[in-house]
Structure 1
Amino acid sequence: MNPINEHAAVITRRHLLGQMGLGVGAAALGTLFNGTRMSGSAHAALPDPLAPTLPHFPAKAKRVIYLFQNGGPSHVDLFDYKPKLLEFAGQGLPAELTDGKRFSTMTSGQEKAFLPEITKFARHGDCGKWVAGNFMPRTAEIVDDLCFVQSMTTTQVNHAPAITYFLTGSELPGKPSMGAWLTYGLGSETENLPAFTVMTSRDRQASCGQIFYDFYWGNGFLPSKYQGVKFRGAGDPVLYLSNPNGISRSMRRSQLDDLAALNQMNMDRLGDPEIAARIAQYEMAYKMQTSVPELTDMRDEPQHVLDMYGPQVNEKGSFAYNCLMARRLAERGCRFIQLMHAGWDQHTNLDTQLEIQCQDTDAPSAALVKDLQQRGLLEDTLVIWGGEFGRTPFQQNRPGANRGRDHHPYAFSLWMAGGGVKPGITYGESDDFGFNVANHPVQVHDLQATILHLLGIDHARFTHRFQGLDQRLTGVEEAHVVHDILS
């Protein structure tokens, strides 16, 4: 058959039009998955040759650990002390606060009365940061190492779009996640583990029905090799790593070599980068057969380190276990480690469930920061702790139900540590009721631009051409790096 006719028989018109611009770099992309470069004494995988040349300037952070708290931690109960809430407790909110504001449908049309904190705030550390030390005692101990941002604000009032916005820069699913962007642009510091890993956990009472959607760590329009690899909390950490019965490692190697040869034939014929990504994923799976068992073998961890993470550290799938795994992944060269812990959605169980959430997450989060610090890793590791929004300063009234708070996107808190941020500071503040941002607002895209900046990336120049547009993590709106929090 004529080669042109043969090619036409296996490719659609839509595929041709969508992929024709990628052929120029296909050969280079194919070499990506076998090419290495020396980084000190260790090999490091090259970034995508089709990606922008990065970093744009010297980076302060090499990697990110994002401790994402699904559901929306209550800023007014944990980190944003507002005595006015007690003074006005039970009183209705003035119209100027609520007019034009959106909340979830669970409080639509309900009377809204101020609800003071259910915790006990006190000043902690040399910086004097107000923290609910009875619920967050370990976090309170390390406030001098943390940078609190108390003027976060977002556009979204429901969980899935709000989480998607934080992690992908868009409210709608389908865009690349932050981890995918960073591994696309910066490559990996390890050949034997994924550059982008994800672990999930839930509150102990399983009271939260939130779903961990795969697009929270998806690759979107970037090649599929950049999507996050999820480590499971039960059974084998990653599916299908073990060889089937009767298949030795040498036999698996031979099978992969033959499969790679077949895929390379298709790559040479079609020039589709996704075929090269498939080859790379098979190879990574083969390497992980030895690297993952070593990663998850905790027998080399000193007892005092395990004790620091708390009693749940030995329970696979717990937040404590995942935090320790995050440190082990970081010291092995993973670029972006995304932990997601659900259960912060206290609509009617604030008085019981909030404390449980804090017990599950407080000690492990603080231990991770201290562990990285004592190993010399915190300096170039950016740790982020926060959710998709906060909780309302008013009570969500439900007859016959316990007290709760609704979703609140207008002002909330998160903290960061290491990786080039100033320790022991608080940036921005909310108003007297924790309702609106009073000064120095930080939009979601501002936070993303700041994270990229710490990794040596100019967010405005970090783009990928897709559907005729230069797409970027921070979208088309104007975003600003928060320079005041940078060391």
Structure 2
Amino acid sequence: MTQNHTFMHDPQLSRRLLLNNSGRTLGAAALASLLANETTAAPSAAAPAAINGGLPDLPHFAPKAKRVIYLMMTGGPSHIDTWDYKPELRKIHGQELPDSIRNEQRITTMTSGQKAFPCVAPMFEFSQHGQNGTWVSEILPHTAKLVDDICLVKSVHTEAINHDPAITFINTGVQQPGKASMGAWVSYGLGSPNKNLPSYVVMISKGPGQKQALYSRLWGSGFLPSQHQGVALRAGKSPVLYLNDPDGIDRATRRRMLDRIAAINQETYRNFGDPETLTRIAQYEMAFRMQTSVPGLMDLSTETENTKALYGPEIETPGSFARNCVIARRLAEQGVPFVQLFHRGWDQHGNLPKLLRGQCESIDHPIYGLITDLKQRGLFEDTLIVWGGEFGRTIYSQGTLTADNHGRDHHGRCFTMWMAGAGIKRGFEFGKTDEYCYNIVENPVHIRDMNATLLHQLGIDHNRLTFRYQGLDQKLTGAEPARVVDEILA
């Protein structure tokens, strides 16, 4: 039945006629409002094929990666104290950073009032590892065993210098909130081979450092259909909020209820054509299937003791980075295309020697376990693993330079990230910073370039994966030029 909900201007239109004609529209609006507030439901199977299948013309070319595990160290790990070793820095420890190096750089308010900017040498010992003698900090002893499998990019840079715009930038392509996250883009473009789990899953853990806020928009869908937003798995008895049925409702009853709700949604879509109605149908169906798939995913009792030992003792702690790494591997096995682990605490403005060591202890063994486990199961070759934060740290001290109390401020001009697996060169280093670890002197790589490379390994041309919104063809790499970093590809 075709309905016309457009009111033409009519000077003879009575109040009674207006109310009579508008009743159906207002009723439908009220129904839409009620449906928007529902938290659990499931639809018919009419829509899922398109929802889970991605875009018809993707991938653009043969992919190297079937999935991504993105290890996001929120807060900005110090590249100086982990990966970007400069022995000569010990000779200038305590000396003022030359103006020619700082070069009127925009700095945060936390150090803008400092009268002195004394250089601080690496706070830990470094040693060489692997076939190419890669320098690695003593606080990453397990990850050091993996240097022949990973590719270090030491020349990553960003314009953002504060946490929220910086982590928004690297996750969505712009510093302003409201855009789609990288995982949402992958879900939108490629869909997922697993219809029982979301195509984009997020888990959050925390270390001993300072813990700035994280917002769900970092894994949100922005302007993309909302079924592509990341689903956050929590520790505890309810990994996904509002997923369980109310007490007294069995699965068969829930199925009948949800089929009826699906019929209402289908009628709403036929009347108004709002694509978010189809999104609601897909989300309800996914929620229903997740009621059985998620509990099995979170149950690690089937893991062998040898496997658990790979990830370290923290694997038994719900919500730990180690446990999340195991779940990430299980998601990879089940075909989930994008898994993102946010690990909080990498913001050492003070007491860096103690806090950074603690942060590294919380991730070092689990990362070794994750990559080793992926290799043993034949998943490493088609899984892209990415490690990094939103920026690095300054060579100069924040606050008074004392024995063990100083820290480092935010630094976006250069920092280190690494990639591994899925067609990435092994045991390779790319990019170079100056003798102060402050400016890039060879092969700069913008965060947009890292995201373009991530999409490329999934078989996606970042310039062709777009979505028309507000008159623009939006894309993950934003409006500025970006390139695939071909030099790090095997």
TM-score (norm 1): 0.91
Q: For 2:143 and 2:374, how far apart are their aligned partners in 1?
A: 15
| Offset from partner CA, 1:148-180 (integer Å, 9 cap, x none) | 000001100001110011000010110000000
- Paired residues of 2:154 and 2:416 also in contact (CA < 8 A): yes
Structure 1 residues 32 and 68 mapped into 2: Cα distance closer, same or farther (>3 Å)? farther
- DSSP 3-state at the match of 1:137: coil
RMSD: 2.0
In structure 2, the residue corresponding to 1:144 is in which secondary structure?
coil
1:271-310 aligned at under 5 Å gives the runs 271-310=273-312
> Which residue of structure 1 aligns with residue 167 of structure 2?
163
**Which residue matches 1:5?**
5
Q: Paired residue for 2:488?
A: 485
1-side partners of 2:210 and 2:46: how far apart? 42
How far apart in 2 are the matches of 1:156 and 1:319? Answer: 26
Letter in 2 for 1:102: R
- Are 2:38 and 1:33 aligned? no
Of the three residues 41, 45, 53, the one matched with 2:52 is: 45
2:213 matches 1:227? no
Letter of the 1:73 counterpart:
P
Identify the match of residue 118 of structure 1 among 113, 118, 123.
123
Aligned residues of 1:347 and 1:405 also touching (Cα < 8 A): yes
Query: Any conservation in 2 of the 1:32–1:46 contact (CA below 8 Å)?
Result: no
**Matching residue's letter, 2:439:** N
Aligned counterpart, 1:64? 68
Distance in 1 (alpha carbons) for counterparts of 2:330 and 2:48: 25
Deviation at 1:103, TM superposition (A): 1.8
Partner of 1:144: 148
Deviation at 1:326, TM superposition (A): 0.4
Q: How does 1:55-204 map to 2 (within 5 A)?
A: 55-110=59-114, 111-132=116-137, 134-203=138-207
Is contact 2:2–2:271 with CA below 8 Å preserved after alignment? no
Q: Distance in 1 between matches of 2:384 and 2:190?
A: 15
Deviation at 1:354, TM superposition (A): 0.6
Matched letter for residue 366 of structure 2: P
The SS at the match of 2:277 is helix
CA distance in 2 between partners of 1:46 and 1:2 (Å): 30
Q: Are 1:435 and 2:438 counterparts?
A: yes
Contact 1:32 1:48 in 2 (8 A): no
What do the CA deviations read for 1:345-369 (whole angstroms, capped 9, x no partner)? 0001102101100110111112111
CA drift of 1:81 comes to 0.5
Runs of 4+ in 1 over 6 A off after TM superposition: none
Structure 2 partner of 1:468: 471
SS in 2 for 1:45: helix
The answer to whether the 8 A contact 2:170-2:390 is kept is yes
Q: CA deviation at 1:399?
A: 8.1
> In structure 2, what is the equivalent of residue 386 of structure 1?
388
Using the alignment, how far apart are the partners of 2:283 and 2:252 within structure 1?
18
Q: How does 1:312-391 map to 2 (within 5 A)?
A: 312-391=314-393
Partners of 2:25 and 2:176 in 1: how far apart? 30
Is this contact kept in 1: 2:211–2:347, CA < 8 A? no
Contact 2:5 2:25 in 1 (8 A): no
Distance in 2, Cα, partners of 1:467 & 1:256: 34
Instruction: Please state how far the C-alpha of 1:209 moved relative to its aligned partner.
Output: 3.1
1: distance between equivalents of 2:479 and 2:345?
Answer: 32
Q: Is 1:85–1:393's contact at 8 Å kept on the other side of the alignment?
A: no
- Give me the whole-angstrom Cα distance separating, in 2, the residues matched to 1:422 and 1:312: 30
Q: Distance in 2 between matches of 1:121 and 1:398?
A: 25
Displacement of 1:284 in angstroms is: 0.5
Structure 1: which amino acid aligns with 2:392?
A: G
Instruction: Give, in whole Å, the separation in 2 of the partners of 1:121 and 1:389.
Output: 21
- Sequence identity of aligned pairs in percent? 50
**Per-residue Cα deviation, 1:358-401 (whole angstroms, up to 9, x for no partner):** 11011111211111111111111100010000111111124889
Q: Quick one: structure 1 residues 11 and 379, their matched pair in 2 at CA, closer, same or farther if it must change by over 3 Å? A: farther
Q: Give the 3 Å change call, closer, same or farther, for CA 33–473 of structure 1 in structure 2.
A: same
Aligned residues: 458
Q: 1:66 to 1:11 in 2, by over 3 A?
A: farther
1-structure distance, mates of 2:400, 2:309: 40
Post-superposition offset of 1:100? 2.0
Q: Residue 114 of structure 1 contacts residue 395 of structure 1 at CA under 8 Å; is this kept in 2? A: yes
SS of aligned partner of 1:382: strand
2:419 aligned partner: 416
Measured after TM superposition, the shift of residue 275 of structure 1 is 0.6
In structure 2, the gaps of 5 or more residues are 8-20, 30-43
Residues 446 and 6 from structure 1, CA distance in 2 versus in 1: closer, same or farther, beyond 3 angstroms? same
Q: Deviations over 1:443-485 (max 9, x none)?
A: 0111111111111111111111111111111111111110010
